[in-house]
């Protein structure tokens, strides 16, 4: 059923993976990306680049862990086990052409923002509230709410 994932090898032909990719992030299947518009449709990733528009700085290991928790939640919610196994066979990162989970970027001022792969209009990156990664992920999941003019992560 997932023949393409088993038939051909994955290579980073477009230079999507940052030279700053860490063993820790790779072990958690989180790509550190050079752009918010990579060639491959990674389920999620963190942009680490000093370029115009996508200027993201290195996250801490704890921040990578938070994005990995989000990735695990996403996969367990939306993807069956055989497909997860096929992705693991194909590449060190999870790639799904139908995913729109989004990418994260830590700005030089320490605030986090995110974008969806399907966004073509409006702001390229979106930041809500206090700029924390926790609130950024909550908003991406639809679990943030505006309370007294302040964005907060909704209770589970």
pLDDT digits (tens, 9 = 90+) for 51-110: 777 889 999 999 999 999 999 989 999 999 999 999 999 999 999 988 888 899 999 999
Closest of 86, 82, 84 to residue 72, by C-alpha: 84
Assigned token pair, 38: 């990579």
Cα–Cα distance, 59 to 149 (Å, whole number): 28
Averaged pLDDT, 26-46: 94
Every domain of the chain and the residues it spans: 14-125
Closest of 155, 133, 130, 144 to residue 64, by C-alpha: 133
**What is residue 91's predicted lDDT score, i.e. its pLDDT?**
93
Check pLDDT > 60 for residue 1: no
Cα–Cα distance, 29 to 68 (Å, whole number): 7
Q: Which of 24-33, 85-94, 122-131 has the lowest mean pLDDT?
A: 122-131
Q: Which of 4-8, 30-34, 47-51, 110-114 has the lowest mean pLDDT?
A: 4-8
Of 36 and 53, the structure prediction assigns the larger pLDDT to: 36
**What is residue 84's predicted lDDT score, i.e. its pLDDT?**
95
Work out the pLDDT band at 151, boundaries 50, 70, 90: low
Q: What is the dihedral of CA 9, 10, 13, 19, to 10 degrees?
A: -130
Q: Say if residues 100 and 62 touch (Cβ distance below 8 Å).
A: no
Using a cut of 0.85, tell me whether the model's pTM lies above it. Answer: yes
């Amino acid at each position: 059923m997932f023949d393409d994932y088993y038939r051909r090898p994955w290579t980073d032909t477009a230079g999507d993976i940052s030279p700053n990719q860490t063993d820790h992030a790779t072990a958690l299947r989180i790509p550190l990306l050079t752009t918010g518009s990579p060639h491959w449709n990674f389920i999620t990733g963190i942009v680490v680049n000093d370029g115009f528009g996508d200027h993201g700085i290195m996250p801490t290991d704890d921040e990578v862990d938070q994005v990995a928790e989000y990735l695990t939640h996403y996969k367990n919610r939306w993807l069956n086990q055989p497909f997860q196994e096929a992705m693991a066979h194909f590449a060190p990162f999870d790639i799904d052409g139908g995913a729109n989970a989004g990418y994260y970027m830590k700005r030089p001022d320490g605030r986090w923002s995110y974008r969806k792969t399907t966004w073509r209009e409006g702001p390229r990156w979106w930041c809500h509230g206090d700029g924390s990664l926790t609130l950024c992920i909550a908003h991406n999941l639809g679990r943030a709410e505006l309370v007294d003019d302040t964005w907060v992560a909704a209770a589970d």
